[in-house]
Amino acid sequence: MGLKLGDIAPDFEQDSSEGPIRFHEWLDGKWAVLFSHPADFTPVCTTELGFTAKLKDEFDKRNVKAIALSVDSAESHTKWIGDINTTQNTLVNFPILADEDRKVSELYDLIHPNASETLTVRSLFVIDPNKKVRLTITYPASTGRNFHEILRVIDSLQLTDNYKVATPANWKDGEDVVIVPSIKDEAEIKERFPKGYTAVTPYLRLTPQPNR
């Protein structure tokens, strides 16, 4: 059984490109993006790790830490990071877990036998400050992740954690949001959403993003 939304992300201690990491301690009350790769020196993953490094300022603005995983050794990771830095014109600024014993892979259900009995699939988890899993995505080996989408989801999650809203299809930060159906009292709506709202239907009520 894989991790479900709302589950506590399993704790672990594992070596990494930046030394041993105890995961819950490393989280330090922040959001996290944990993403796995089948092996070092793989082309699609090289572009992904490079792009993640370039997004550091965007992650920092959202109080998010990035951490990657591969089943190769920390020594191998160090050599791979050299390639990533050179080919992607960046500096890797987050740890890559060295999961040689597959300990973390087993905890996070990253070994899918129908895909490979030894290599991890390319899964991604967004974990909140309460250590709860808030998003899971598993990609095919041939398709690079869209990290702009990951940031968009984090923006949505952080917004909906602080306000009783949901975000509509293709929503981007700054656009109108949806008042959740559970709020029915007009006085509460006026208090929570002083900019007003548009009722497209009784259950679809759009309001300007509250924190803008």
Domain count, the chain: 2
Residues 71 and 28 in one domain: yes
Residues 122 and 25 in one domain: yes
Q: pLDDT for 41-78, tens place per residue?
A: 999 999 999 999 999 999 999 999 999 999 899 999 99
- Separation CA 131–CA 198 (nearest Å): 36
Q: State yes or no: is 145 an active-site residue.
A: no
Structural domain boundaries enclosing 196: 163-207
Q: 3-class DSSP state for residue 65? A: strand
Q: pLDDT for 113-156, tens place per residue?
A: 555 555 556 789 999 999 999 999 988 878 889 999 999 999 99
Regarding pTM above 0.75, the answer is: yes
Query: Which residues, other chains included, contact 98 with Cβ-Cβ below 8 Å and sequence gap of 6+?
Result: 14, 15, 16, 17, 70, 72, 73, 74, 76, 77
Residues 119 and 168 in one domain: no
Which DSSP letter does residue 8 get?
B
For the cut 80, the answer to whether the pLDDT of residue 23 exceeds it is yes
Residue 116 lies in a domain: yes
pLDDT at 51: 97
Exactly one of 21, 32, 34, 45 is catalytic; name it. Answer: 45
Residues 132 and 57 in one domain: yes
